[in-house]
Homo-oligomer: A and B are copies of this chain.
Amino acid sequence: MSFTIKNVLIPVEDSYATFDVQVVDGTICAIAPDLDVMGSEINGKNKLLLPGFFNAHTHSSEMWQRGIMSMLPLELWLAELYDFAPLDLEKVYLSALGTAVETLLSGGTSVVDHLVLIPGKELETIATAVRAYQEVGIRAFVAPLIQDESLTAGIPSGETQQNHEPYFRPTQATLAVIEETVKQFHHPEEGISILVAPTGIQLCSDALFAGCIELSEKYNLCRHSHLLETKAQEKLAQEKYGCTAVTHLKRIGFLDYRTTLAHCVHLSDRDITILSETQSTVVHNPLSNLRLGSGIAPILKYRQAGVNVTFGCDGASSNDSQDLLEAIKIGSILHNVTDLDYQHWITPRQAVEMASLGGAKGLNMADQLGCLSVGKKADLVMYDLTNLSLLPRTDPIGLLVLGRPSNVVDSAWVNGKQIVANGKVTTIDVDNLRQQLFNHSQWHTQRLSPTVTQIEPHYRSVMGL
């Protein structure tokens, strides 16, 4: 686990320097010119070294429906997703591998998987995803997706009387599954952390949130949830609580420095202040927010208010890729149209910091991860600057963030262990993975979702369409 990268380009201040980087026992122990070689020697010439990024919100099993979901807003899209989501453990395994590989090959060394659970096989689903991530070697934050209300409860009722099916699993049984998951799988020092992760205010009772908070306190777990992804959820919060979702989540104590909140599209200025005061982290999923027509999250306002922001791909049914560099690019430049004053726009260097240190802060690991500094864990990515997509040579970080890099990840290390070398994942057989994904699927075209047909008239009516 010891190695020395010789002559690699690293960002310093507003410029770059060619340095050597020594890693011993998974920790960066020196960054300077002309260092002795400790352990194996890695040639860093014409390469750029950066801290690994965080894919800070995804749902790995959505990979099975990428490319085929209709163009629909979240509430109807979810109905279609659930109508065609017959998961089995083999599929859970393959899509977790696929998510890990695509994340790694686009600069990510950590993934937060808001993991869809197979009903009745909750622990097996989690065990399967954990196994996949351990095989690849990516740092994984597994956040089992839990709720205790049924799908239709997530749509505002408007002036109408709506009846919802009760959710199939009682709240306390769900919390018991999560506690057992923590006992079995929460091993941060081995690169696997469990998060408490209620779906969001739209499908969760206060009792479920309270149970998650209790587990978070008891085991020092990070917290993860969707928050105000759509206009419909903004309406729903008012119906449900008589205040904004953020006000309610603060009141019940869900927001703190260990809390990452996916989407955050429809927040008021007062809500933004609350996120800042509670030191919560926003996970920006720009591509999913566009694809589902959710809106443009007010990221520049978050940054001005001192709210920590990082990036996620979101599940591949709403993006439909796990290319983290794409999410970082679009998540940066998208906001230039929201503020005429270019002095507020996100620069490529700021985007890199959001994607690395921003993720580490949200996952309560900023003391160990997120920057190139002596004493930090070696979660590192080295990019090949001789790739056509990063030429001609100008500003390497500008090219990486604003261009469309492909095949640029030469090497990646997690906790000092090399898991990508010469542009290939070394820990699993990716060709075999491709073959398995091929064999487990069929080409087809749009399908008709019975649930969409059923709930669409109410949705259109309550949204004024």
Contacts and interface: CB of A to CB of B under 8 A. Distances in A.
Interface string A433-465: 110011011111110000000000000000111
Interface stretch (A177-185, A270-278, A284-292, A373-381): A284-292
A463 to B, nearest CB: 7
A290 B404 contact: no
Given A320-B399, A320-B402, A406-B406, A63 B392 contact: yes
B291 A336 contact: yes
Interface string A56-89: 0000000111111101110010000000000000
Contacts of A390: 67
Contact of A345 (B71, B319, B433): B71
From DSSP, what is the main secondary structure of chain A's interface residues?
Answer: loop
Interface in A403-449: 403-404, 406-407, 430, 433-434, 437-438, 440-446
A430 B389 CA distance: 12
A371 to B, nearest CB: 19
A295 B391 contact: no
A229 interface: no
A98 interface: yes
Interface in A85-133: 98, 101-102
A430 B388 contact: yes
B463 A340 contact: yes
Contact of A402 (B66, B72, B444): B66
A347 B434 CA distance: 27
B345 A293 contact: yes
Contacts of A294: 337
A334 interface: yes
Interface stretch (A9-17, A20-28, A203-211, A212-220): A9-17
A388 B433 contact: yes
A71 B406 CA distance: 23
Contact of A392 (B385, B395, B438): B438
Contacts of A316: 403
Contacts of A193: none
A44 B348 CA distance: 41
A437 B337 contact: no
A45 to B, nearest CB: 12
Given A392-B440, A438-B392, A293 B445 contact: no
Given A65-B394, A319-B402, A321-B403, 19 more contacts: A16-B443, A16-B445, A67-B400, A67-B402, A68-B394, A72-B342, A293-B337, A294-B337, A316-B403, A321-B402, A323-B389, A326-B326, A340-B463, A386-B438, A387-B434, A388-B437, A391-B438, A392-B438, A406-B406
Interface of A: 9, 14-16, 63-69, 71-73, 76, 98, 101-102, 231, 287, 289-296, 316, 319-321, 323, 326, 330, 333-334, 336-337, 339-342, 345-347, 385-396, 398-400, 402-404, 406-407, 430, 433-434, 437-438, 440-446, 463-465
